[in-house]
Structure 1
């Protein structure tokens, strides 16, 4: 049941393309150490009261950032109960954050401690599995590119709790963030360039308008460095691999309720958080970001690039 206790960069949940080709510095700088709410039957209520309105993304980040000192102070006294089926361990694997190695070690450790595990690409669990199994047999360890909502539903059933309302299952959870520009570049290279996947009819992005890109996904896959800032912003919002996978807003994809709609989550931040109903949706990007950060605050969170802080935080537990 020993896992890394690390720091949470609340602002890094918002990926890469918020206003220009690079996210505002204010969205990349703040960080806090988090004590997970082990065993809480109910999550702490969200501190952001305006989450259901179109508004400032920076305001959401500021609210969570202001709570950082208190969260850091609680870290040394955090104690996790032992993992078992009634209080399982869940790894929410954000793509391109080094999670494959963690999953391998999870399976090994689960077997070593005689714990049942459900991890895609291991023990005959199909690799293309994104929903936790909602029916028996249940497990003590889960890990993968799992949507938070599917895990919550599965564990509520597993623990015999009524599925609905504000009920929250007992669990330990862990996720890893990565500096957004680095993560997006790695994702794009892997999905769009290395795999030679094309979108739409494969027209060269330099010869088509932004409207064509948005409407028809007529983007030929290129290295990110070949795009201008405006082209890159549109490419990340509309770019999909052959299998319908995007690279934008990965934390929102895994931890919010928007992740099952790949196209929607890919475009969530394209409108700068200020417009409702863009592309025919009620975007509620502020609410999505708020929910993502709120759920992340229930977990132990690692940061790929911050090994020293990870080790320091781990030493406190």
Structure 2
């Protein structure tokens, strides 16, 4: 992988912002860089435009996209408004021997550059639960659900596959929600290893994610290096000290978990854990490239 050029309408940049993985801070940085460097048009919800809808950008082509997108949905939109560039004309033959040309699609097509953020599974689910199911329900007329440290293992088993935020999203399988082939929320939130489509969904999501540069909030210094190397137009970032949309719940034990709760969370997120481990391997390889390609220090004469 080589550093990517400054994005344009013909070669856009996409930040697939995964929820509760430290992405709000990064989305703010991306927005500020687009303003500073006059990159436009851009679709970055919550920054000088409404936050909703945050998953459905306008049909008009953009140079920069940054939000909670589903890969397949966004790619379909980009194929619609860039159809001449992505259509592949191939030869085919009818049963009667007549030669014809048809439009086909290549799932390996290059659409520009992309970045995504991942977080270890347990940490992400607990953060999602405390933020979406507890904190964001306060003052809405909905009863806040118990915070993560108040749930038993049985509570997690009962609630995780059935609970959805007021945005109609659960806390399970965030990487699948982003890079899978469908935006069907109940399908995503209940996907476990015994599902008939598990293997196919994993391979598809992994293939899509592998096209992107990966960052991890738990390894912020390494993430800073990766971003500055692969996206020179973004430049230096500090993901270690700036934290937007962090939990406001009080209490030192807000993330402590009951006995066996971790096992239940992982059982409900078997897909996410496998994809996280795959994403972590991509991250390590991209960090190796970033470190290898950095300029050598000058040797004193």
- TM-score tier, shorter chain, comes to 0.5 to 0.7
* Kept in 2: contact 1:94–1:254 (CA 8 A): yes
SS of the aligned residue for 2:178 comes to helix
User: Residue 115 of structure 2: which of 174, 187, 193 is its match?
Assistant: 174
Partners of 1:263 and 1:227 in 2: CA distance: 22
Partner of 2:189: 266
Q: Note the C-alpha offset of 1:242.
A: 3.3
The one-character-per-residue Cα deviations of 1:187-231 (angstroms, maximum 9, x if unpaired) are: 10011111337xxx98xxxxxxxxxxxxxxxxx821223333233
The answer for unaligned runs of 5 or more in structure 1 is 1-34, 36-77, 203-219, 277-283
Give the C-alpha shift of residue 275 in structure 1: 4.1
Residue correspondences, number: 209
CA distance in 2 between counterparts of 1:147 and 1:301 reads 16
Distance change in 2, residues 1:295/1:275 (3 Å): closer
Rounded to whole Å, the distance in 2 between the matches of 1:187 and 1:274 is 24
The offset of 1:264, in angstroms, is 1.4
User: For residues 242 and 110 of structure 1, do their structure 2 counterparts lie closer, same or farther at Cα, with a shift above 3 Å needed?
Assistant: closer
Q: Is 1:223 aligned with 2:136?
A: no
CA root-mean-square deviation: 2.5
Pair 1:152-2:75 in alignment:
yes
In 2, Cα distance between equivalents of 1:185 and 1:294: 27
Counterpart for residue 121 of structure 1: 46
Return the index of the structure with the highest Cα Rg: 2
Match of 1:132 in 2: 57
Deviations 1:253-298 (A, max 9, x none): 011123x2211111012xxx1243xxxxxxx122112211111110
Superposed counterparts of 1:1-317, under 5 Å: 35=1, 78-116=2-40, 117-133=42-58, 135-136=59-60, 138-159=61-82, 160=84, 161-162=86-87, 165-167=105-107, 168-196=109-137, 221-258=145-182, 260-269=183-192, 273-276=193-196, 284-310=197-223, 311=225, 313=287, 314-317=290-293
Q: 1:223 to 1:86 in 2, by over 3 A?
A: same
Does the residue aligned with 1:90 lie in a helix, a strand or coil? strand
**TM-score in terms of structure 2 length:** 0.63
CA 1:305–1:266: 2 relative to 1, 3 Å: same
1:152–1:169: 8 Å Cα contact kept in structure 2? no
Whole-Å separation in 2 of the counterparts to 1:242 and 1:287? 30
What secondary structure does 2:116 align onto? Answer: strand
Change (3 A) 1:195 1:82: closer
Structure with bigger RCO (C-alpha 8 Å, 6+ apart): 1
